[in-house]
Structure 1
Amino acid sequence: MRWLLCMAGLGWALCPAGAAPPSPVDEWPLKAAIAYNLLLFTQWPDEDRWPAGAPLVWCVDPGSPWWPALQGLQERPVRHARVAVRAVSRSADTAACQVVQLDAGLRPASRQGAQLLIADGRDATGPWAVRLAVHGDRVVFDIDLTGLRAGGLQISSKALRLAREVRE
């Protein structure tokens, strides 16, 4: 787990100097770990009104390569909330989602409130707020501030500094 945080760029203090990576890590669990860490740096506009332990609903198409990796994040804490990964096959069913994992099969039909739209670099067409991609032997992320603001979301300046690209 420490190496995943190191690779995510969100836990450099945990990385010993000169640490070598273990054997190659599967792309999807690493992307899921980075996406989860970005949730910790994201603020939803109504978050202060969520009851303690409320679900932070992360919707993903069960046919997506993200599905198995995101299942491992079930019940993980995000401040006062807990991640609840939900299988959603139709774009019309994303209204109750705070996070939508975009892929070829799942796109929100229209902006439906405060949603963090996460795309994979392979399928990053249309609106998105965070895009993850493989660049060389690393997983990197980009942030689209317009996409965040459209959902009423804010992201920490710490995450912005670690992004490969920040779009206005």
Structure 2
Amino acid sequence: MRAPHGIVRRAQWPRPRRLCAVLGAVLAGVACMGATHAQMQASEGQVKAAFIYNFALFTNWPAEVMQADAPMVVCVTAQHPLQAALEKLTGKPVRGHRLEIRHINDGTVAGCHVLVFDTRAQNGVRLDPGTPVLTVSDSPKNERVAGNPEPMIALTLHDDRVVFDIDAVAARQAHLQLSSQLLRLARTVQ
């Protein structure tokens, strides 16, 4: 049986209104994606700082280097882009030690447990490969400027994700023991 005309009616938008609504939804989606991308870019430093914190958690130093009640010292080279993000980690616990961030301007790494530097910039840091300092760069090893130390861990961006490569030989030479969990998470281990 047919319903009387006017009782059952499909709501239809005129074509221009429908087109505007669809375009509005698409533009709102693009705007949200752009905001998410901007937020990801803004937090890259925080993500890298969190990685560095976890590297410290999953590294063992010789007992004579990590004395009881002494702070875990993360040194960062002058003008490094991760300084601000690392400073937010000050005081966090690392295996019974509190984290301390120190800026180095003269290349002296005495008292440092972790050294964060840019392999692409000449920073004046000189480090004996046997010194028990975990060296971390936020740039690929193949972009290293001559005279800079070899990073044991190199952070890089790959497909908008932070990944890292480990030089386990250099870590062993410095008498550092990297956790097997850390080694499994690395993109590559040499």
Which among 93, 100, 123 is matched to residue 115 of structure 2? Answer: 100
User: SS of 1:64's equivalent?
Assistant: coil
SS at match of 2:89: coil
Match of 1:88, as an amino acid?
A: I
**Cα offset for 1:113?**
2.2
- In structure 2, the partner of 1:39 is 56
Where do residues 116-135 of structure 1 align in structure 2 (5 Å cutoff)? 116-122=134-140, 125=144, 126-135=149-158
The residue number in structure 1 matching 2:172 is 149
Shift of 1:105: 4.4
In structure 2, C-alpha distance between the alignment counterparts of 1:151 and 1:33, rounded to whole Å: 23
Secondary structure of 1:133's partner?
A: strand
- Mapped contact 1:32–1:70 kept (Cα < 8 A): yes
- The number of residues matched between the two structures is 145
Cα offset, 1:63, TM superposition:
0.8
Distance 2:124 2:61 in 1: 20
Query: Alpha carbons of 1:41 and 1:47: their partners in 2 closer, same or farther (altered >3 Å)?
Result: farther
Max radius of gyration: which structure?
2
Q: Is the 8 A contact 2:65 2:132 kept in 1?
A: no
1:70 and 1:132 mapped to 2: Cα distance? 15
Which residue does 1:114 correspond to in 2? 132
Opposite residue 132 of structure 2, the aligned amino acid is: A
For residue 96 of structure 2, the aligned residue among 62, 80, 84 is: 80
Query: Which protein has greater RCO, CA pairs closer than 8 Å, 6+ apart?
Result: 1
Q: What does residue 3 of structure 1 align with? A: none
Distance, in Å, in 1 between the alignment partners of 2:136 and 2:126 is 15
Runs of 4+ in 1 over 4 A off after TM superposition: none
Unpaired runs of 5+ residues, structure 2, are 1-35
Q: CA deviation at 1:107?
A: 5.2
TM superposition score normalised by structure 1: 0.78
Give the TM-score, by structure 2 length: 0.69
In proportion to residue count, which structure has more helix?
Answer: 2
SS in structure 1 at match of 2:45: helix
Query: Quick one: distance in 1 between partners of 2:124 and 2:92?
Result: 24
